Structure formats: C-alpha cells, structure tokens
Structure 1
Amino acid sequence: MAKGTSSGLLDEQHAQSIFKHKILGTYVMPFAEMTGSKAPGRRVVVLDGFAGRGRYPDGSPGSAELILKTSASAAQAVIESVLVEKKPSDFKRLSAVVAEYRSRGVQSEAQPGEVLSHLPAVLRQAEGVPLFLFLDPCGANLPFTELANVLGGTRRGVWPSTEVLLNFSADLTRRAAGALKAGLLDHDALPVMDRTCGGTWWRQCALDAHNASAARDFESATFAVAEEYARRLAAVGGMHPVTVPVRRRVHHQPIYHLIFLSRRTHGIWVFADAVARARQEWMRALGPADDDEDDALFSFGDTVDQQIEAEQRAAQGAVIRNLRTLIAGQGQVRLVDHVWAVFGDAYGVVTESTVRKAVRAVQGAGGLTVVGNAKQLRDFVVAPPGQVTP
C-alpha cells in the first residue's frame, strides 16, 4: 500500500519550494553516490522535467540550480542533468544558469519544450546507469500511461536504479471531484484527471472517500486518490511508494501531494530523513507559534528550536516502542528491511540521527544487541539479547 505521512508543509511565500529544495539538497546526493558507485564511469542521470528559470530573481537557487550545485559538489558520482522548460522566457534564463555550471565542468543540458518530447532521449542517455526523475509541474503531471511506460518498461529491474519524485495536484483532484459530485460530467477537469490517473478509477475512489468523510469535504478524496495513484504507479514499476501532503497552513487541505517511488527500501529509508529535514526547514519558515493561531503546531512561547526538539523527543519515544515491537516479533533483523516497522507514524518527522539515538537507547537498556559493524545505521542488524544468529 502507499504509505502516507502527516508531515504536511506550509505554503507561506514559497514554503512548498522550501520543502522541494530541501528534498533535492538532501536526497539527490546520497541517491547519486549510493547508486553511482556501481555504474559505469559512476554516471547518474537526473531529469528535472519542469525546471523553470533555474534561479529566482533574488539570486536564490531554484530546483534546477540545486541539482547543478549537487552535480558540482558530487565527489563519488558524475551527475548528468537534463533540465527541461517549456516557457521561452524562463528557458532563456535557465540556459544562462546552466552555461555557468557547464563552464565549471558540470555535465548538464537545458532543453526547451515539453518534457514528454525529451523522455526518449533521456532514457537512451540513462541506459545502464541510474536515473532520478523530478516532475514538479504547477498543474497536472504527465499522463499515467507515459510514466507507466518508463517505469514498467526496460527500467523495471532493480538495476540500474530508477527513482521518481513527482507532484500530484490535490487542487486538481478537488476541482474534478467537485464537478463529478455536482453531475458536471462535461467539466474540463475530468478528462485531465482521467489522463493523469490512467483511467476513470479515480472517480469512484474520490466519491467513496467524500461520502465516507465526516465533514463531507474533498480532503479525504485527495488523500484516497493520491495514495491509490501512488499504489498503482508503484505496482507497474515494482516500486515502494511514499506520499507526502503539502499544505498552505497546518490545518488547510493539501495543495498537492509529493509522491516518491523507489525499488529499494534503502531509498525509502534515506528519503525518510530527507522529508524530516525538510519538515524542520518548514517549521523554521513558519516561525514560532503565535497565541492567536488556531493551527499552531506547539504551545505559544516555544522557540522553533524548542518545537523541533520536542517533536524529536516524541518521535524518538515512538521509534523506541517500534524497535521493541519489531524485535519481539521478528527476532534478528536488518533495520533497512523493515523501514515502516522502524519509523511507523514518525516517518517524515523523525530524523536518522534521532533513530540512531533510539537504537542506542534500547541497546543501553538491554533491549537489543547490535550485530556486526555496519557503517550505515540503516544496515545495522539488531537482535534480542542472547538471540544472535550467524
């Protein structure tokens, strides 16, 4: 099943961009270095299908420049980025940013037009090497059939690695579901959703979720459709899905869901830390709670750092309980093979460093034994004391 996280993010100014950028800054590098180590020439291809200008007018980096920065600093992989933008004025600016980095030795190309027209060339470029697809349009994403052809085609195998981070519009889902509920079957949002979802299945899914919700709004419909979409796309590609709601305010309905797909639980583990760090960036952008906010995260008077510390303490306690339950039920296990059992509801909130503290706390209390000397926390093998097997 698609796994969701409640760590929805604020859209004050560019908060959804803050989240997106933190994900790219935190996740793309480890993806490239983990997978590139096995690739010919350590090559990794990264596609930003809706790259925009590359850099904001105030000089801060957009998603495309963050990918370029990652490429410039990657020591263990050679990242080849393809940055696509259809708006001519934005493409002109993007090309100038790419030229700056190419002059420094970064392997990148800016391409004009629709991303669909460039997909075949990107797939040829990525033959035999890892591929990361970042697809973040303002509205509807690529048709399901096109994405399914990529993920369910020659790249369906575990190697070379293929991962996807995409935007699934909750605003579009609400608009289409509202029209459907009102009987407006000729509304232009319906065929757009049909193409995006790869059929009409979403219609009954949205209506069922709406009718079952206590508030009879369409928030539950956006979650149901996004998670079923993620499940279906993951099934086509033989992948594990994660869905993350992105909100304007804490208690607002999501404006979209970010959907992450990976074939390996290693990717799901590393992505958990990336989401948790992005959440902390969001909290800092939000600032401390005000006493007149009905959607404040924590008590009035707490600083942001105090809020983050309190959240991590609570998350550490949850992971400690999860670890005890996991070991009691499974015995000796490698943590990365049981990502959801380790993180549970704290996925997208708890950072990897806090998970490490939880492991050490259980170990210190005599509740588990760490077997061997794995370098990465995710590769730790843990067992009940006295029950270590070869």
Structure 2
Amino acid sequence: MATPFFQSKKAAAILKHAILDQYISPFAMKTGSTSQGGRVAIVDGYAGTGTYEDGSEGSPGLLLRKAREMSSRRRLECLFVEQDSESFQKLSRFTEDEGKGLDVKIFLGDVADNLTLILDETQGIPLFVFLDPFGLMIPFEDVRKILMRPTGVGMPTEVLINFSTIALRRIAGHLTSSNANEATLRRMDGVCDGDWWRSAWLDEAPTKEADDRQREAAEEAVVKGYATRLSSAAKAGYWTADVRNREHYRSAYHLVFLSRHRDGLYLFGESLSLGLEKWRRAIFDTESAGSLFEGDEEEFKAEEKALSDKWVKEITDNLRELLSEHGGFRIRDRYAEVYGDTLGKARVKHLRAAWKNLLREGITKTDSKGDLIPKVIEPA
C-alpha cells in the first residue's frame, strides 16, 4: 500500500525538492559539457509514485521536468527505483505519460538490490544520486559503492542523502531501553558503517531522561560522524543541513551532500540558500493563513530583507576581520570563515553586497565583479 507520506508536501519536502530544482541544472550543464552526447544520469532511489496525492510534483516529476527543460542542451537520463509494488505501478503510468521522448528507466525493488544494474547503466557518464528513503538509509557499503564507482576524467559522482533523524531517534531509543532489540540496532550499524554511532549518541544523551537539547546534540553527532566517514571513504567534501517542518520543530531529517569537486560544493551551498528561501515562504504562507498577513507579499519581503541585511552585516564583519588578520586571500580558501554563521543560509549575492560595503568604506581595493568564489580580495 502506498505510504501516506505521498499525500501532500510538507515544508521539509518543499526544501529538498527546491534544492534539487536549483542544483540539477548547473550540475548537468557543468558535468555534461565533457560527457559524450551531453549525457548525464540522475538516479532517484526512492521515487514513489511521481506526484503527491494532491497533484503536487514529486521528485520524479521534478526530474522529468528538468530533463525536458534541458533537452536541447543536455541529455538527462532518469533512473527511478521504487520498492512498493502499488507505488511502482503508479510510477510506471506516470513515466509513460510524462516521460515521452525522454530517457527514463524504472526499477522495481530496493535500490541496494538494483545497484549493480544501475551502476552498469550509468557507467562512463556523470552521475547524481538522490537517496530519499521513508525511514532508514541503505547500508553504508552501498553508498560507498556508488561514490567509488569507476570514473574517468570529467565523470563525477555526487550523492544527496536524506538521513532520517526520526528513524535515528526511534532506533537510538533502544540504547537506553531494558527491552533493546539488538537486530534493530545492527540495522543502524549497517547504515552507519559500524557501531560507533552508539557511543556517539550516548556521549550526548546518556539516559532515557535526556532532554531535547541533549538529543539534538546526539543527532548532530551521529549525522556528522556519518558524513565524515563517507567523505573520507570517497575522498570528497560534504555539506549537512538540518531540515524541519517549522523552525521551532524538531529535525525531520538531515540532508547529506557529497562531491569531490569544489564547484559542486559551492553550487550546493547556493542551492541550499535558495531552497531555504522557498522553505521560509511555505512556512509563511501556512502560518499566515487566516490572518491579516495571508498572501501579504510585502510582509514576506520585509522579513526576507531583515534576514538579508543581518547576513550581509555578518559577512562584511567577517571579511573586514580576515583582511585585517591575513591581508589578501582567495574567498574559496576561507569560504567557511567568510560566511561564518550564515553558512548555508546566505549566498553569493550577500557576499557581493558585503564586498561592495568594504569597497565603499575603503577597506578593500578589489572590485566585486565576476565570479567571487575563486577571486582574491585585497586590502586597500
């Protein structure tokens, strides 16, 4: 039976789909420029039915739309995997209707069981894999197999993972339970590449009575450990992002993104920032429904401007301090220090505004034109 997860989009789903929407085009354009025939493979490992029951776009619908939009420039080959038989039948009908003229393949079963076939199908071309399970991830070894697939020059592999903190909390409850299910704990061991996560959790939340702050610290420790291990195994950089249905709610999941190329990491940061803007819009629309501010575009714009001004000020201060301490430097070499607490929230447009502030103040002599990430900013 199809899971209720696919009935409608919540804010957390809006965010991950907004990130996909923003990221797929630059990924395909950049990586497909050196791929024969402009071929680029996109795998959705937990595809669902194609759409939500309310008719809104699911990840397969989004990816087919991107494939169609880019068809004159890149050949996006979409591979969809779905384990639930009823959802698979709906996905089949959906791709028959919406995938006409596009390169689409669908696979029934678990993504891990189809992995060898998928890697064979995508051999020799750039590959982006989206793993968005409703529950536990596939085992660590399978993710490592994706990231470590044989590739030639200019044939990158990138992965975006939904690491469910809801599933993590449920399973971690066994660590402090008198009725612990060892088989359940071992399933998480497989996801995390060993039982290290158990001590990582208990170091932060050692008892059943642990408060929300301790549990959130435990979640973050496990997710960071997971991302670090994958990063080390694949010799890749990574992003993690905590995703919630409301800012004050507990985490629904963490996104873990891995890329071996700096450009991929910078582009993902931009996509995350743009996705968060759409996430805030969805929350604003929900929370203002039925109030005086319902549909008030100016109110939302005012809230966004306040955030933007705050971020630009912080980046301005960070740049000023870094110039004072180190003299000239390349932005990409001090990327995290430049963004500071705005990392993942702000983007290049905020960096450019901060740079212009320092130019006006006479703190730098370097103009803010062009691609700022590889650019050197110098003191005046």
The one-letter amino acid paired with 1:174 is: R
Kept in 1, the 8 Å contact 2:31–2:154? The answer is no
Can you list the C-alpha shifts for 1:326-373, whole angstroms capped at 9, x where unaligned?
Answer: 334444433334331222211221133222222222223222244797
Name 2:36's counterpart in structure 1. 40
Seq. identity, %: 33
Kept in 1, the 8 Å contact 2:64–2:98? The answer is yes
Kept in 1, the 8 Å contact 2:355–2:368? The answer is no
Name 1:240's counterpart in structure 2. 237
Find the residue that maps to 2:281 and give its secondary structure: helix
Cα pair distance change 1:158/1:168, threshold 3 Å: farther
CA distance in 1, matches of 2:24, 2:307: 26
Report the CA distance between 1:13 and its aligned residue.
5.5
The one-letter amino acid paired with 1:28 is: I
CA distance in 1, matches of 2:170, 2:248: 19
Cα pair distance change 1:289/1:101, threshold 3 Å: closer
The one-letter amino acid paired with 1:198 is: D
CA distance in 1, matches of 2:280, 2:157: 31
Cα pair distance change 1:211/1:185, threshold 3 Å: closer
Is it true that 1:66 corresponds to 2:62 in the alignment? yes
Kept in 2, the 8 Å contact 1:234–1:261? The answer is yes
Gap regions ≥5 residues in structure 1: 1-11, 292-301, 386-390
Match of 2:118 among 97, 116, 122: 122
* Aligned residue runs from structure 1 range 211-226, under 5 A: 211=206, 217-226=214-223
Can you list the C-alpha shifts for 1:48-105, whole angstroms capped at 9, x where unaligned?
Answer: 00011112233321011111111111254221110111112212222222223432x3
CA distance in 2, matches of 1:139, 1:54: 19
Match of 2:131 among 135, 143, 157: 135
Name 1:358's counterpart in structure 2. 354
Is it true that 1:258 corresponds to 2:259 in the alignment? no
* Aligned residue runs from structure 1 range 1-390, under 5 A: 14-74=10-70, 75-103=72-100, 105-155=101-151, 159-211=154-206, 217-287=214-284, 303-370=299-366, 374=370, 376-385=371-380
Kept in 2, the 8 Å contact 1:371–1:380? The answer is no
Name 2:294's counterpart in structure 1. none
Report the CA distance between 1:256 and its aligned residue.
1.3
Report the CA distance between 1:308 and its aligned residue.
1.2
Cα pair distance change 1:131/1:369, threshold 3 Å: farther
Name 2:3's counterpart in structure 1. none
- Range 161-170 or range 325-334, more displaced: 325-334
- Range 239-248 or range 209-218, more displaced: 209-218
Kept in 2, the 8 Å contact 1:288–1:303? The answer is no
Name 1:299's counterpart in structure 2. none
CA distance in 2, matches of 1:152, 1:325: 40
CA distance in 1, matches of 2:257, 2:232: 13
Report the CA distance between 1:188 and its aligned residue.
4.5
CA distance in 1, matches of 2:57, 2:9: 15
Find the residue that maps to 1:278 and give its secondary structure: helix
Report the CA distance between 1:151 and its aligned residue.
1.8
CA distance in 2, matches of 1:192, 1:158: 36
Find the residue that maps to 2:136 and give its secondary structure: coil
TM-score calculated relative to the size of structure 1: 0.85
Cα pair distance change 1:271/1:94, threshold 3 Å: same
CA distance in 2, matches of 1:144, 1:168: 12
Report the CA distance between 1:380 and its aligned residue.
2.9
Cα pair distance change 1:326/1:270, threshold 3 Å: farther
Report the CA distance between 1:111 and its aligned residue.
1.9
Find the residue that maps to 1:160 and give its secondary structure: coil
CA distance in 1, matches of 2:279, 2:229: 29
Kept in 2, the 8 Å contact 1:266–1:378? The answer is no
Name 1:8's counterpart in structure 2. none
Find the residue that maps to 2:150 and give its secondary structure: coil
CA distance in 1, matches of 2:182, 2:308: 45
Kept in 2, the 8 Å contact 1:142–1:196? The answer is yes
Cα pair distance change 1:186/1:341, threshold 3 Å: same
Report the CA distance between 1:130 and its aligned residue.
1.3
RMSD: 2.6
The one-letter amino acid paired with 1:73 is: E
Cα pair distance change 1:362/1:216, threshold 3 Å: closer
